[in-house]
Amino acid sequence: MVTTAAARATEFDEQRGAEISQWGLIWRRFARNRLSVWAGYVLVAMYATALFAPFIAPYAADHIDTNHSYAPPTRVRFIDGWPAVCALSQDLDPFLLKWQYADDCSQARPIEVLVRGDTYVLFGLVRTNLHLFGVTEGPPMAGASALEVHATPTPARGAASSDPLAAFRIQQSESIAPKVEQIRNAPRLYLFGADQQGRDVLSRILEGSRVSLTVGLVGVFLSLTIGSVMGATSGYVGGSWDNVIQRVIEVIRSVPTLPLWAAIAAALPRTTTVVQRYFLITVVLSLVGWTSLARELRGKVMAYRTLDYIAAARLAGCSDLRIILSHMLPNAASHIIVVATLAVPHSILGETTLSFLGLGMLPPAVSWGVLLKDAQQLDSILIHPWMLIPAIPVVLTVAAYFLLGDGLRDAVDPYSS
Amino acid sequence: MLTFLVRRLASMALVVALVSVLGFILIELPPGSALDTKIAQLRQSGGEISQEQINALEDLYGLRDPVHVKFTKWITRAVTGDFGHSFTMDMPVSKLIWSRLGFSIGLSVFALCISWGISIPLGVFSATHRHTLPDYVIQIMQFLGVAIPQFLFALVLLVFSASVLGQEVGTLFSREYQNAPWSLAKGLDFLSHVWIPVVVLIAGGTASLTRIMRANLLDVLGQQYVQTARSKGLHETRVIWRHAVRNALHPLVMALGTTLPTLISGEVVISIVLNLPTTGPLYIRALIQKDMYLGVTFLIMLSMLLIVGNLIADLLLAWVDPRVRLDES
């Protein structure tokens, strides 16, 4: 029944092909731009992932395991045709005073689907401990012993082979170094490695995506609201109101964006909850962001003001509010959407940069910028290169938004080829 | 032209005044000051500080005055070049800022010039070779240039130059040249350090400018006078460079208004990553430690940089485009 109705609808659409709505036309033009459509899919996938982040993540973002400080990304092996991970055993290098990790495949465990792990609350409603995949504690796998023979200890990244003292060190540690007892750990799954406190970087990236992906949306929504009100009224009313708003915009835009953001963010109280901080940061981003939107909208409204259909509406007795809301804004809607889409990545970059500088989100909050702050020191990145992995989703998201916005801009412009 | 200049200068003065009020209030806003940290330090080192001494210190720095009194005091001295005292560095702000601002301006202007130098030919090439492989490559590079946060690009280059090229990185000079007088060797050393921030800054600027150049030239190439020039039998290079490009250039000048803030912001961020002796690291530290006079001076100076840059852009635009001149006067 449903399919026939749908079929009839398409048939109907084809019959009156000349009567496609404005939005239908925009959609058609947009769909032709394959790259933008794919960027849209990528973004949908990312937001869906963020929504289910604690379920997809193998561990809780704040699951500390000091026995795995800076553990490198775990190698996934196939034991009995099933993906599995070996445990990491720890040795203290008595000279570098650093933990060296070695694979301990006698403790291998399979990667299982739908496992019980850290407890979390999904959507703020369901308390559960079910994770999409992960490694549980239990008896070692049967087929693991065969693999153990081939397992070679992975040298820690810090002690590069070019180290001229390496031979000396090994000799020394064999002869005089006190034998440090090896710590045998239960296997853990660190697909993207672990940070200083042994927290899983993948889980933290997933958790951080919730802040990083939404802070842009909320920030742009705020700027959109302020910008629409300011821009529409200043374009419509004109006169001294327009003059005042234009001066305000000019002053705000005369301060370079990042230093201004930093100054406002530094003025925020530092003893707030994570949620309060989150909203304060969105406010900071939108306090600067609304200006460009207000300018564009003002231009549009001023252009519309002289058009006949506005004069007609006024003669018909429409109130100013009604003219702005139901005649001018819908006309500028497509333009507003494009500007907003292109503003989101700037907000995301803003949050990431501010957090990176220690002025945005603060730990224990997790965002991509907060994660990248841990990768600020050069020697730290050289030894633990996986700390830079959170950069990949940032670049991916921002690029996808730019591509999407580009496609939308071409689509709403009826004169584009 | 003269009235245009006078009007622009007058509005610029107004904006500078408003920006300094805004900046001062913004940086004054958070409670506490660097003096609190200093008192805590003194207490920790064993000194007993009475309430009277604290009051005396606060009076000395004028910390107990209301905001507008503080501002008036500060601004009257600021116009004579005395920007107050930095609490954390324990020296006058004016001694701290000039060399750092010099490096910032130098880096930004240098990067801007190179960005223009690269983006004009690149944009022209991209527009005239539309839908070819090089055009796609250029467009992908543009997206990456805009999408990669500058601090990240700086980090990646830092890792690259440290691990692959084996350079000593960060700062602008090697240790042995830090306090040495300028010489050829110091210059070469400077160049081996300065390329990272310059490349990062250029990447961001070039990406957006190339985009603008390409779009403008495509617009212009579709116009009838270009067709006329072609049908006259002019050589294609002449059509493009003499007729089309000249008319596609002024939006590039207008884009200065959006390129400059990006450049200045970028310079602040990457100089923190690379630990350059420019405004960035000191500014952010001043903000975090509530060293207000230092922070406010940097904020206003960076804004001045932007405002003057915009003024130059406006003048340039009036110079290349007579319509702007006529409209305004």
Rounded to a whole number, what is the distance in Å from the CA of B255 to chain A's nearest CA?
14
Is ipTM > 0.85 here?
A: no
Q: Are A380 and A387 spatial neighbours (Cβ–Cβ below 8 Å)?
A: yes
Peptide bond into A364 cis (omega under 30): yes
Residues in B touching A249 (Cβ below 8 Å) = none
Split chain A (417 residues) into runs of 10 and give each run's mean pLDDT: 53 59 78 82 90 82 76 76 75 70 74 76 77 75 53 44 48 48 69 80 87 88 89 84 86 85 82 84 87 86 84 87 84 82 87 86 85 79 82 88 83 65
Closest CB to A263 among B26, B264, B266: B26
Interface test with A, best of B265, B283, B308 (most A CBs within 10 A): B265
**β-bridge mates for residue A134, sequence order:** A112
Residues in B touching A262 (Cβ below 8 Å) = 268, 283-284, 287
3-state class of A185 per DSSP?
A: coil
Among all chains, which residue has been given the structure tokens 């809301």? A325
Q: How many Å apart are CA A390 and CA A396, to the nearest integer?
A: 10
- Phi and psi, residue A36, nearest 5°: -65, -40
Cβ contact (<8 Å) for B269 and A353? yes
Q: Are A275 and B39 spatial neighbours (Cβ–Cβ below 8 Å)?
A: no
A359 in B contact zone (CB under 8 Å): yes
DSSP one-letter string for B10-66: HHHHHHHHHHHHHHHHHHH-SS--HHHHHHHHHHHTT----HHHHHHHHHHTTTTS-
Closest CB to B288 among A256, A266, A349: A266
H runs (alpha helix) in A306-390? 308-315, 320-322, 329-356, 368-373, 378-383
Residues of chain B with CATH 1.10.3720.10: 94-322
SS3 letters across A47-107:
HHHHHCHHHHCCCCCCCCCHHHCCCCCCCCEEECCEEEEEEEEEEEECCCCEEEEEEEEEE
CATH of B94-322, one of 1.10.3720.10, 3.40.228.10, 3.60.15.10, 1.10.1840.10: 1.10.3720.10
Q: How many Å apart are CA B255 and CA B282, to the nearest integer?
A: 29
Residues in A touching B143 (Cβ below 8 Å) = 399, 402-403
A392 in B contact zone (CB under 8 Å): no
Q: How many Å apart are CA B271 and CA B279, to the nearest integer?
A: 8
Residues in A touching B261 (Cβ below 8 Å) = 253, 256-257
Interface test with A, best of B155, B200, B214 (most A CBs within 10 A): B155
Residues 4-33 of B with CB under 8 A from A: 11, 14-16, 18-19, 22-23, 26-27, 29-30
Cβ contact (<8 Å) for A259 and B169? no
Q: Are B283 and B101 spatial neighbours (Cβ–Cβ below 8 Å)?
A: no
Structure tokens at B321: 């485009």
Q: How many Å apart are CA B10 and CA B12, to the nearest integer?
A: 5
Among chain B residues, the shortest Cα distance to A376 is held by: B273
Cβ contact (<8 Å) for B269 and A352? no
Structure tokens at B51: 């309430």
Per-residue pLDDT of chain B (329 residues; tens, 9 = 90+): 677 788 888 888 888 888 888 888 887 777 666 667 677 777 777 667 677 777 777 776 666 677 777 777 777 777 777 777 777 777 777 777 787 888 888 888 888 888 888 888 888 888 888 878 888 888 888 888 888 888 888 888 888 877 777 666 666 666 666 666 677 777 777 777 778 888 888 887 888 888 888 888 888 888 888 888 888 888 888 888 888 888 888 778 877 777 888 888 888 888 888 877 888 888 888 888 777 778 888 888 888 888 888 888 888 887 777 776 666 54
Interface test with B, best of A253, A367, A376, A383 (most B CBs within 10 A): A253
- Give pLDDT, residue A157: 44
Cβ contact (<8 Å) for B23 and A378? no
Cβ contact (<8 Å) for B155 and A254? no
A156 in B contact zone (CB under 8 Å): no
Q: What angle do CA A304, A309, A310 make, to 5 degrees?
A: 55
Cβ contact (<8 Å) for A266 and B302? no
- Phi and psi, residue A93, nearest 5°: -75, 115
Buried b (16+ CB within 10 A) or exposed e, A277-303: bbebbbbbbbbbbbbbbbbbbbebbee
- Phi and psi, residue A65, nearest 5°: -140, 95
- Phi and psi, residue A120, nearest 5°: -150, 170
